[in-house]
Chains A and B, each alone.
Chain A
Amino acid sequence: MRADFLDRFSRLDSPIHRLPAGVKVAGALAIIIATVLVPFRFHSFFISIAALLLITAALSRIPPRFLIRRLLLLEPFVLGIGILMLLEPNGLRIFLVFALRSTLCLFTMILLSNTTPFSKILAVLRALHTPALLLTILALMYRYLFVLIDQTQRMRRARLSRTFTPSRTRTWKHTGTLIGQLFVRTSERANRIYDAMCARGWK
């Protein structure tokens, strides 16, 4: 399994990892809501949030390089949409405040997802009375996500090793066919999983 780059450190052992998931989820939510709502003139609030996050990161024993890489990887997605603000007359200030807020929120979520296994988050969601069907789908999705990403990468590699002159139209056609093929395999896998679930007494 090579696709563990997404939440690789969620199963480390550290004081932060050992905290109950509910506490971490509530804490992250509180930090994010406060970061979004508190007016920017309270500079000390933002500084203390940043300090709190850095202390948490240090205590969690997640390699700092990983956290920085992850932050840099996701930042374009966050800031890309912020370009809209730069179109405004005095948009630079709004944009910079937004960049600060969204970066703090992003860092909070990166810490949460890398200190809490997804199954624990699902348990929190279950305690909050999330509908059972949604929980089943989320659990199945997470469990097979990595399998399907691996499968996609294998199919892509196989395709690349056989395609010597990639042109744009070909790439489109190949990507489309690959996704189609992936769905066919996914649905076959889903049928096998259903049989296996029934065999083990599901529902």
Chain B
Amino acid sequence: MHIPDGMIDAKVAVATAALAAGGLGLALRQARIDVSPRRVPLMGLAAAFVFAAQMLNFPVIAGTSGHLVGAVLATVLLGPSAAMVVISAVLIVQCLMFNDGGVTALGANIFNMAILGCAVGFAIYHPLASLFPGRRGQILAASFAGWCTTVLAAVMCAAEISTSGKASWSKALPAMAGIHMLIGIGEGLITAIVLVSIARLRPELVPDNSPIASSPPRYAVAVAYGLLISLGLALFVSPLASKSPDGLESVAQKHDFAEKPTDQPLLRAPIPDYKMPGISSAALATSIAAAAGTLIVFGLSFVLARILVPSATPPTEINPHAR
């Protein structure tokens, strides 16, 4: 879901670039504190590793193939800040040298996949992995977080494209979210398989619960990331959620714009507009579908973790291939 050039307009490009720069700056600052010099080469090589791993395709349904994004995988293996820097580096090199993803959309791509992917991935992974202890809990948490971040990145992508006026929210959102709810299953599954195989080969490479569990949690950093992400959601997603679902801009121009100023819909709360007839049912249906999908994937992650991690005992079995 690399956004190419020409897909997002100037205001979205500038806003996402600012958000991405803020997030990446924060991640770099945090990585300098958290990451020991010994792990700096690992961060560089992990970026190359993510790039190489993304070149391995695996078959999905009907002849299509998918590949790993790796934000959650990197978050679990390296910690959220380091992972953010690593995934950003991957996106920068992909943009500059291999021409995947646009230059003007680099900020948007970094924000969607690296900043959101790692921060939200960690925010889902960390509490879940503490709630369900052991390797099994880790696998469950990582695969679920992998799915969530894939879908969230797609939603963000759809929001940026609709804010740019290239597609309507009511069509872009179901299309992007729907496809990525399926792709996300692949991401979650492959993240889980990779983590299990690393844990089997070299258990010490998969930190037990989270890399920063030992050090005291830094609320200021968490709040800063939280603010950054809420700002992104507030800027792009909330104004769209409050628009009419038909995407009939002519109708919107006739009715909506007479009531509210066109210049500043950016930070308006979506709730007042949900009262409009027709929207509430559509929004409700979408919410119910999303909630059901999330629950199903959580259940699938649970089953996956049970299949992949044979028992609750530590992974020191005599024969790991026994069925």
Q: Is the interface of B mostly helix, strand, loop or mixed?
A: helix
* Chain A 127-140 near chain B by CB (<8 Å), digits 1 or 0: 00001011011111
Given A84-B166, A106-B4, A175-B89 contact (CB < 8 Å): no
Among A83, A142, A186, point to the contact of B49 (Cβ < 8 A). A186
User: Number of residue pairs across A and B with beta carbons under 8 Å?
Assistant: 241
A window 127-162: CB within 8 A of B: 131, 133-134, 136-145, 147-149, 151-152, 156
User: Is A141 within 8 A of B168, CB to CB?
Assistant: no
**B258 close to A (CB within 8 Å):** no
Given A145-B52, A171-B59, A137-B194 contact (CB < 8 Å): no
- Number of A residues near B (Cβ < 8 Å) is 75
Would you give the shortest CB distance from B17 to chain A, in whole angstroms?
A: 12
Which residues of A are found within 8 Å of B172, using beta-carbon distances?
84, 87
User: Is A149 within 8 A of B7, CB to CB?
Assistant: no
25 contacts between A and B (CB under 8 A): A74-B99, A82-B4, A84-B158, A94-B166, A101-B5, A102-B7, A137-B86, A138-B93, A141-B93, A142-B97, A145-B52, A148-B49, A148-B52, A149-B51, A149-B55, A152-B52, A176-B193, A179-B194, A180-B193, A180-B195, A183-B198, A190-B44, A193-B41, A193-B45, A194-B41
A residues with a Cβ closer than 8 A to B are 6-7, 28-29, 32-33, 35-37, 70, 74, 77-78, 81-85, 87-88, 91, 94, 98, 101-102, 105-106, 109-110, 112-113, 118, 121, 131, 133-134, 136-145, 147-149, 151-152, 156, 168, 171-173, 175-184, 186-187, 189-191, 193-194, 197, 203
Sample of 11 more A-B contacts, CB < 8 Å, known A113-B96, A142-B97, A194-B37: A84-B158, A141-B48, A147-B48, A148-B48, A148-B52, A149-B51, A176-B193, A177-B194, A179-B194, A180-B197, A193-B45
B residues with a Cβ closer than 8 A to A are 1-7, 9-10, 13, 24-25, 28, 31-32, 37-49, 51-53, 55-56, 58-59, 68, 77, 85-86, 88-90, 92-93, 95-100, 102-104, 157-158, 161, 166-168, 171-172, 175-176, 189-190, 192-198, 200-202, 205, 247
